Structure 1
Amino acid sequence: MKKLLVLLFFLSLHISYAQDYFPTDAGVKIAANTLVAFTNATIYVTPEKVLKKATLLIENGKITNVGRSVKIPKGAKVVDLSGKTVYPSFIDLYSDFGIKKPKRAGTRSRTTQYAASREGYYWNDHIRPDINPIKDFSFDAKKAKELLNAGFGVVNTHVQDGIIRGNGLLIALNPNASNAYRVLDTKSAQYLSFSKSAMSKQAYPSSRMGAMALLRQTYNDASWYAQGNMKNKDLALEALNNNKNLVQIFETGNLLDALRADKVGDEFGIQYTIVGSGDEFERIGDIKKTNANFIIPINFSAAYDVSNPLLAQQISLRDLRKWNQEPSNLKVLSENDINFALTTRALKSVKSFHKNLQKAIKYGFDKEKALASLTTIPAAMIGNSAIGNLKTGSHANFIVTSGDVFDAKTTIYENWVQGEKNVVNDMTIKDITGNYMLFVNDKNYELVISGKAAKQTAAIKMGDKKIKSKFSYKEDWVSMTLNEDSVYTRMLGKIINTSKVMQGTAFDTQGNETSWSASLQVKKDNKKEEKKKEKEEKEATIVVLPVSYPNLGFGNYKIPETETILIKNATVWTSEAAGILENTDVLLKDGKITEIGTNLKARSAREIDGTGKHLTAGIVDEHSHIAASAINEGAQNSSAEVTIEDVIDPNDINIYRNLSGGTTSAQILHGSANPIGGRSAIIKLKWGENADAMIYENSPKFIKFALGENVKQSRSSNGTRFPQTRMGVEQLFTDYFTRAQEYEVLKKSGNPYRKDDEMETLVEILNGERFISCHSYVQSEINMLLKVAEKFNFRINTFTHILEGYKVADKMAKHGVGGSTFSDWWAYKYEVNDAIPYNAAIMHNAGVTVAINSDDREMSRRLNQEAAKTIKYGGMSELEAWKTVTINPAKLLHIDAKVGSIKVGKDADVVLWSQHPMSIYAKVEKTIVDGRVLFDRNEDLKKREAIKKEKSKLITMMLNEKMKGGKTKAPVKRGDINFHCDTLEALKK
């Protein structure tokens, strides 16, 4: 009888509380009725416009009204959202949703593909603006569910393949609709990147600068095609012209690539929307100057597992900083008024999106701006005002949440897309999380419930002892089982009193019954004080280390400024007719050398005592490959269209190391993969500046040519590119310069002509406007190129390497070509077997302007010692030996009016040495560029100590992260590329 009464009691409870779940409006699935009114909600119409206790009215997939006093039409289904918040569904502008990954072109042939494989399209397979993914689009229900659960309602998808990738599709994530309905725009944007197509093995381009050159030429050709000047139909160029008014979205892999993409766009009047990489904070000033919209990923790095101190030593400071600084990127972008949207791109799981965004908010990113970056901003970027907001007439795309969508405790209940409901978490399940006092069997327990909605879990303790238990919660009913040393208690009960109290009946293993109850323990602390305490705790735990320029070890937190500097009583090596001056003062002012003499005085000048020390002009390296992201574009036998200026890398630590060895200027040469290489960049080693600031203003124009084994592919296992012989190299030069002459004739004729960047460069050579530095070894080839130059009436500027220069020094002098050589390299490959260390002296004695170069990041730090070798090998005087690394290379680079010697009026690029500059014991004490101290030995020692302390601080932070249960990853040692003449960059597909 007692059991029957208990059963009747619970039945009565179930009936009395049934209205809590059946049939609440929030829990009923809307099917036939398409007119729905959501009432009593906090509604974010836009991030800036928030309505309290408002109504949202939708019908046929659109919003028909929204406001505080909306009249609800007769027959509308009313959904009471009291206590709930409604936001516009999110938008992701960079996705490959519903698009199959392109299959890689497969072939067993070891022959390199040079020609395009598509007939009727552009000459390069990696230009694919004709790709329209609509025919192959397939709605991915599984991926859609992941995105819907994260709050996304619309994605902009495309085929992520190629340099120009075709158009995108704007897709509503509506699982219940047809493609015809859910596709909002079949041509939403045009996509670009620097990555080649996986569907072709065409070799060109093989470098970043090649990809940039290809883009430029493609735009030129598209313009030429649009004017009706091409005889044959080109479907790719046709599509490119048709897509030119679309939003142009450019994927980049890093900060430097973002700036490079913007540079190409500016040249053609195109403002790209740039897909960033999360490191924009490192050069925020440069990012701001692009005036571009950005799409930003939030795939923050995990902390390194630094528990092994030996492995931890291998992690660079730059990589350690990245983990610490990345979460501040969104805040920095926002504070600098850069317009950006957010994307799930690069996340391993969409589930981590909110966690990462919450982290960014914790690091100072404003919540209103966060919402805008997911709604109104991407909608505006894509030019669609019917998404990303809850205004009348917009698509009924919205999410229903328990509160602030960016709060970790908030639950997303539903995501409506085009008026169709998608349940994320059952809205009828109450949030019962919290700490409860559980009373059962005359005992008190601590019951802790955590989690969200149906995934809420419980843990039970008595004092410090954890009690084994099982917990389930459904339809306001709670079921728990306690296991205390194999003594079981089963409990069944009901949530009552707005989730603050639970009560019901407990059963032991003998079938005995008793009542149980649990009450929520409410903290009595003042809520304002709690919030204040939480805020203080958050601020106390977040330490974002400052950014340096560049953002790695030895970077500058502030770019050094030009100073007025008076160097007193030094031994001055002028590299001019004045020779070496003892006990001499040199005044540097406004970035120039303004006075040379004795007993000089200057008001407010920083005085440096040079007593017993030697002052020289900064060393000039005629042939270097540092400070670049790529060196060779070797996929064609001529790459005159590419330029190293496109790929200058200001983050290369070798810039700083070169300054420590006294080098202040360098020509960054293209490699020697082809006979006609790319154009050079002549830079000052302005450590801390961006790439553009390093390039000489009004820089002389140079290009790299090459002869010998490298260009005829002697050591290539699959080289099939013309030329294959030394005589073929000569014919190639003849053919190209003949074409250049014909091109110039057409250009001057006044008739229409197709602009060809490669031919434009060669015409500059013919007209003496661009100088040649030629990689060379063998006497016969040197003779050959001199004859080709004389045949076409131009002059070779410099033979570099030129290790058989001693054999043709008289002919070089007659032609007027300089020689930039190694001091004592030989026998490292067959064609240098005749090299001798007397080469430099012999050429010098024949009247050739001779420089000693590095071609090597390590040698460029000790060119002072390389110059000294010419004294031993050939008996050159100290003055002439020193000129081989100062004024002579400056002359060869046509920058001798600015640098290379200490002379009034020249740039203040000087080096203070501890003793005789060509001594193996000499150390650089200060390197000054444009009157700015960019290397100081004493400051260097301080930087080393600071790096040690900063790494220790970051490692401690990472250890704390691991101890708190945060995710970690294995240490990785950064491997920098050591570029040489024959280094080939692998341009990713």
Structure 2
Amino acid sequence: MRRHFLTALLAAGLAYSAVAQTTFPRNGVYDERPGLYAFTNATIVVDPQTTLQNATLLIRDGRVEAVGTNVSVPAGTVIADLKGKRIYPALIDIYSDYGMPEIPRAAPGGGRGGVPQIESNKKGAYYWNQAVQPENSASQLFKATPAKADELRKLGFGTVLTHPHDGIVRGTGALVTLADDRENTLVLKSDAAAHYSFSKGTSRQSYPNSMMGSVALLRQALYDADWYKRGGNKEQSNLSLEALNRNQSLPAIFEGNDKLGVLRADKVGDEFGVQYIIKGGGDEYQRLDEIKATGASLIIPINFPQPYDVEDAWDADNVALSELKHWEMAPLNASRLASANIPFALTTAGLKNKADFWANLRKAIENGLSEQKALEALTTTPAKLMKAEDMVGSLQKGRVASFIITSGNLFGADNVIYENWIRGKQYIVNQKDVVDLRGSWQLTIGNQSNVKLNVTGKSADKPEYQIVIDTTKITPKVAVSGEIISIQTQLSRRPGSGTTRLTGYFTSPTSVKGEGETPDGKQITWSATKSGDAPLSTTAVTAARSTSATSSTAVVYPFVGMGNAQKPKSENVLIRNATVWTNEKEGVLTETDVLVQDGKIAKVGKGLSAPAGVKVIDGTGKHLTTGIIDEHSHIALLTINEGGQTSSAEVRMSDVINSEDINIYRQLAGGVTTSQLLHGSANSIGGQSAIVKLKWGESPEGLLLKGADGFIKFALGENVKQSNNPSAGVRFPQSRMGVEQVYMDHFTRAKEYAKGWTTYNKLGAKEKTTAIPPRRDIELDALAEILSAKRFITCHSYVQSEINMLMKVADSLGFKVNTFTHILEGYKLADKMAKHGVGGSSFADWWAYKMEVHDAIPYNAALMHRMGVTVSINSDDAEMARRLNQEAAKTVEYGGIPEEDAWKMVTLNPAKLLHLDNRLGSMKVGKDADLVLWNAHPLSIYARPEITMIEGATYFSLKDEEAKREAMQAERARLIQKTLSAKASGSPTQRPTFRRSRMWHCEDIEGVMAEGEEEGK
């Protein structure tokens, strides 16, 4: 035992850092040593695929010189015998902020009580927006932080990729080691990667104030960099664009943060031909097929959520089923990614307590992640992604000598990391030559021989002791120093019994003898003999039992309540004997059949025969219609307004589709199959619309209606000039006449922009080599599309004078307004609307909710209809959209509109306004089979859809509804019981947080509540 103890001291004393060439002079005596070490008789994991037994690792000057089973050790080498121990490459984390300046909390940049900052305050020839800062370099900001380095070294990490987590374009990251030294010796790669995100960070500029604005800003910056490279640098100097172009050759890491963020980031990458490495959020298993299709490598956190404290039934109501399911399934994420052959690296990012890293990683392994894949994700994969595999990630010859010495299997629950060597410098994590006393010991103390000493604990260097005499359990004080052991304990629980003191020495690893003194001063001899392993503690037994609780690993689409076990698929269906509302010249047909094949309406008629394999549905006594189309909706969006500028024509609602929104399912239950997702009305020129089919379970891209024309939201009135935000006072316009000027200015610029591209495109190939191309402006692209009738306007409108104004502007500049939405004073100028050719998408009977609607009347839709205007009834509200059939019925009551014409206002007419009437809106052969089977007359308040299908796939079935709810309730009950069991087993818990999906309306700004609105509503 004495020999082992002295060896440990010797190794600690000789472990100097490797000799390094330095440009720093030393104030004192130079003491340079060769840094030559040999670690012999070890199990060496060279890389995840290569393990050597009884091998030697030879390092010189901080590099691996040799590794193998037949390595010649040079004279003068410091030798460490690691028999029974293992060596692994040090771990790598490529998503770190180690050594970066602390990011201050972003100060408010606008909204109530804040004055917006429109322009950049950054001095110098930089980009116009402070959220774009590619000129930042982590290597210039890096400052070693010994305490944080030590925290990561104890976990086994030797290298991290660090960068400042601030902004949309964040600059370059640096690959650094976790040694304690000067910064210039710690940096392995100064510009190792370029970093991006969707978060504006600390920028106080009012733009962007939304996710879609962040996407647009990044896209514009990338287009600007391309223009700058192609000649724009001759017209201006921009340090940010120069840096952005330099960074294009680096591995690009994008902070996606969740499953939809991963898809969003990849979409940006596809546009610019860049394959991003994307940092996810740990929920990728919920959209595995779509994420695999991106081809992206991922960086995955293992910050699993704690179980919820649901002992209080009211608290339990605040936890969504998706949250409970994610708590259960999050540990499966890494194994699911591995099974799908999606490359990934693991990161400590997101862990509130870095000490949870190993417990969470072992939980991931228990849930199917192989140890080899885990090691790859912490060594070779991150090294390869950073193009640094020639330096780190393995222990092959020539690599940086960064490795860890362990007691055994790195992933074993009882493994101990003894040392972490970084560039040939030793860092002791735990003493590796500590005697492992864990087990059961039989004690003889004087004449007393019925004494047991149980030694437990997670590691040998942190043992826990308990003396057992008959049924009495006593916790002694024990100290071990080398070969010497001392014990102080009360051998009796009787008051005043006193302390017995024992001191002895190890005669072998399993036996001790020595002398002691009883409480009354008598000298005694004592001995101890190891008799076996220690019994499993009560805590361990409880934990083992808790892991055996039932679990469900099935994913539903989407991953929320009422999700589908499988994504619905198109079927061939014959619906027989229904009352069919054709919306064609045939009108309403009774006792009629409709055949659906390959997602299309194949036949409409009486007595149709069912081809082989066709599903037959009895429609007797029921009404069959095409699906309702909502021309103005804000459901299924993460945000709806980018109000940082007066024009946000560059933003796209398709960038912020939330495919997990329960309102998709609710509106299917109301017969809605298609919706136009519109930008809000915060600015004169809003963003580009997204037209979606409500395919519950599909991804955001899967919801988009392919081949649809492009639309864009404009707005007039109070919201645009910020009437209800008097503190704003900066953003133009501040008056209604200013709104007109916005349109004139922007369309004049768009005309010149389009003309510039036309001129450039006419140049010959030779001329183009010397000409500077026009700068691609994605805002003006959208406006130019309006001028060329490739994009169409839906305009938020109320007041007659403003509606006249926009039609006048359009006529003067040669474009048309497609639709006036809201249009509550449309009855005053319906004749002019008909002449202009603009449609009206109105509410049935909304009024009196603000001054602009003072003149609204319930007969508006009927009066516009009679003047020849194409009229639709829209929702602009998640709740109203569930009963648009009843909103259409109101036009029968208010204005005497015929029932069939009223029904067209929520089906065929919105299809016409969206230029989709060739595919949707009527029961015509060849059109999409988007159908609703109602249990009653569709305009009745008692009508309810029994089946809602899109392209022949059933997305809502009243028949299955009850069973679906019962299954959801049973699953919720199971998960609640499982969380209760986890808490009873001692697991830390989190309190439920009340969350309610926000129901967006036109004027809502992300992060700013409407007057009187509750947080989260």
TM over 0.5: yes
Return closer, same or farther for 1:439/1:576 CA change in 2, 3 Å cut-off: farther
- Provide the rounded CA distance (Å) in 2 between the counterparts of 1:829 and 1:534: 61
State the Cα distance separating 1:411 from its structure 2 match: 0.6
1:217 to 208, 215, 220: 220
**Counterpart residue identity of residue 478, structure 2:** F
Moved more, 750-759 or 764-773: 750-759
Tell me, in whole angstroms, the C-alpha distance in 2 between the residues paired with 1:522 and 1:627.
62
Paired residue for 2:361? 357
Q: Is 1:30 the counterpart of 2:15 in the alignment?
A: yes
Contact 1:495 1:501 (8 Å CA) reproduced:
yes
User: How far apart, in 2, do the equivalents of 1:610 and 1:683 lie?
Assistant: 28
Relative to structure 1, is the Cα distance of residues 20 and 206 closer, same or farther in structure 2, using a 3 angstrom cutoff?
same
Q: How far apart are the structure 1 equivalents of 2:284 and 2:106?
A: 34
**Mean alpha-carbon deviation: is it higher for 445-454 or for 163-172?**
445-454
| 2:670 match | 661
1:169 CA drift (Å)? 1.2
Give, in whole Å, the separation in 1 of the partners of 2:533 and 2:381.
41
1:612 aligns with 2:646: no
Q: Residue type matched to 1:204 in 2? A: Y
* Cα distance, 1:539 vs structure 2: 8.7
**Alpha-carbon displacement from aligned partner over 1:205-253 (angstroms, at most 9, x marks no partner):** 1111111111111111101111232422100001111111011111122
Partner of 2:241: 237
1:336 equivalent in alignment to 2:340: yes
Residue 28 of structure 1: how far off its partner (Å)? 4.7
Identity of aligned residues (%): 48
SS of aligned partner of 1:171: strand
Q: Distance in 2 between matches of 1:188 and 1:52?
A: 34
What is the distance in 1 between the residues matched to 2:542 and 2:521? 47
| Matched residue, 2:166 | 161
**Matched residue, 1:61:** 62
1:388-434 Cα offsets, whole Å, 9 max, x none, are 11111111101000001111101100000010000000112122222
Deviations 1:561-611 (A, max 9, x none): 111111111111112221111111111111111111111111222111111
Is 1:227 matched up with 2:222?
Answer: no
- Residue 935 of structure 1: aligned partner: 956
Q: 2:456·2:534 contact (CA, 8 Å) conserved in 1? A: no
| Structure 1 residues 502 and 943: alpha-carbon distance in aligned structure 2, compared to 1, 3 A threshold | farther
C-alpha separation in 2, matches of 1:636 and 1:928: 40
2:649 paired residue number:
640
The answer to whether 1:960 aligns with 2:944 is no
* Residue pair 1:454, 1:473 contacting (<8 A) in 2 also: no
Report the alpha carbon displacement of residue 192 of structure 1 after superposing the two structures with TM.
0.7
Distance across 2 between alignment mates of 1:438 and 1:415: 37
The one of 725, 729, 735 aligned to 1:725: 735
| From 427, 432, 437, the counterpart of 1:422 | 427
SS at match of 1:674: coil
Equivalent residue for 1:515, pick from 525, 531, 546: 525
Q: Unaligned stretches of 5+ in structure 1?
A: 1-16, 526-532
User: Would you say 1:504 and 2:508 are equivalent positions?
Assistant: no
| Corresponding residue number in structure 2 for 1:626 | 635
Helix, strand or coil at the partner of 1:455: coil
2:193 to 167, 189, 195: 189
TM-score, normalisation: structure 2? 0.92
Alignment correspondent of 1:774: 795
Q: Distance in 2 between matches of 1:657 and 1:567?
A: 24
Cα distance between partner residues in 2 of 1:359 and 1:386 = 30
Q: Does 1:977 align with 2:998?
A: yes
Match of 2:766 in 1: none
- Which stretch of the first structure deviates more once superposed, 763-772 or 503-512? 503-512
Query: Could you tell me how far 1:541 is from its partner in structure 2?
Result: 4.8
- The answer (yes or no) to whether the contact 1:91–1:378 under 8 Å persists in 2 is yes
Deviation at 1:493, TM superposition (A): 2.6
The equivalent residue for 2:764 is none
Residue 543 of structure 1 and its aligned partner are, at CA, apart by: 2.6
Structure 2 CA distance, aligned partners of 1:716 and 1:535? Answer: 56
Residue 484 of structure 2: which of 432, 452, 477 is its match? 477
Is the CA contact 1:316–1:973 (under 8 Å) kept in the aligned structure 2? no
CA distance in 1, matches of 2:524, 2:2: 24
Quick check: 2:438–2:460 contact (8 Å CA) kept in 1?
A: no
Aligned-partner Cα distance in 2 for 1:495–1:359:
38
Q: Please, which of 675, 684, 693 is the counterpart of residue 684 of structure 1?
A: 693
Q: What is the rounded CA distance, in whole Å, between the counterparts of 1:935 and 1:405 in structure 2? A: 50
The worse-fitting range, judged by mean Cα deviation, of 909-918 and 971-980 is: 971-980
Distance 2:281 2:1001 in 1: 28
Q: Give, as a single letter, the amino acid of the residue that structure 2 aligns with 1:402.
A: S
Q: Name the residue aligned to 2:455.
A: 449
Residue of structure 1 aligned with 2:568, choices 560, 563, 568: 560
Structure 2 residue 472 is matched with structure 1 residue 465:
yes
For residues 108 and 666 of structure 2, the distance between their equivalents in structure 1, rounded to whole angstroms, comes to 44
SS in 2 for 1:739: helix
Q: Distance in 2 between matches of 1:534 and 1:977?
A: 41
| Structure 2 residue aligned with 1:576 | 584
Give 1:6's aligned residue.
none
3-state SS, counterpart of residue 892 of structure 2: helix
Query: Which residue matches 2:371?
Result: 367
Distance 2:454 2:11 in 1: 27
Tell me the equivalent position of 1:492.
Answer: 503
- Report matched runs for 1:865-904 at 5 Å: 865-904=886-925
1:613-649 deviation per Cα after TM superposition (whole angstroms, max 9, x unaligned): 1111100000000011121111010011111111111
Q: Does 1:84 align with 2:69?
A: no
Match of 1:277 in 2: 281
Distance 1:536 1:931, change over 3 A: farther
The aligned residue for residue 760 of structure 1 is 781
Shift of residue 62 of structure 1?
0.9
Instruction: Kindly state the Cα deviation for residue 105 of structure 1 after the two structures are TM-superposed.
Output: 6.3
Residue aligned with 2:608, SS: coil
- 1:979, distance to aligned residue in structure 2 (A): 1.0
Give the alignment partner of residue 830 of structure 1, picking from 825, 844, 851. 851
What is the rounded CA distance, in whole Å, between the counterparts of 1:229 and 1:524 in structure 2?
Answer: 74
Residue 203 of structure 1: CA displacement?
1.0
Partner of 1:3: none
- Once residues 870 and 446 of structure 1 are traced to their aligned partners in structure 2, the CA distance between those partners, rounded to angstroms, is 89
- 3-state SS in 2 of match to 1:373: helix
Contact 1:429 1:474 in 2 (8 A): no
Q: Distance in 1 between matches of 2:906 and 2:524?
A: 96
* C-alpha contact (below 8 Å) 1:631/1:669 kept by paired residues: yes
- Larger displacement relative to structure 2 (717-726 or 850-859): 717-726
The Cα shift of 1:268 comes to: 0.4
Alpha carbons 2:653, 2:690 under 8 Å: kept:
yes
Alpha-carbon separation, structure 2, partners of 1:711 and 1:535: 59
The CA deviation at 1:925 is 0.6
Alignment pair present for 1:908 and 2:929? yes
Please give the TM-score of this superposition, normalised by the length of structure 1: 0.95
Structure 1 distance, partners of 2:748, 2:37, is: 75
Matched positions, count: 963
- Counterpart-to-counterpart distance in 1, 2:860 and 2:947: 32
Amino acid across the alignment from 1:139 = A
320-329 vs 95-104, which moves further: 95-104
Could you tell me how far 1:449 is from its partner in structure 2? 1.7
Aligned equivalents of 2:302, 2:608: Cα separation in 1 = 57
* Matched position secondary structure for 1:891: helix
Distance 2:550 2:425 in 1: 41
Q: CA deviation at 1:360?
A: 0.3
**Is 1:600 aligned to residue 608 of structure 2?**
yes
Residues 92-171 of structure 1 correspond to what in structure 2 (within 5 A)? 92-104=93-105, 110-118=114-122, 119-171=124-176
Per-residue CA deviations over 1:746-774 (Å, capped at 9, x if unaligned) read 11112621111111111110111111100
- Are the counterparts in 2 of residues 914 and 925 from structure 1 also a CA contact under 8 Å? yes
The DSSP-based 3-state class of the residue aligned with 1:187 is strand
The Cα of 1:439 is off from its aligned counterpart by 3.4
What is the RMSD computed on CA atoms of the aligned residues? 2.1
Q: Residue 691 of structure 1: CA displacement?
A: 1.1
1:780-839 CA-partner distances (Å, limit 9, x unpaired):
000000000100111111000000000011101111110000000001001101001100
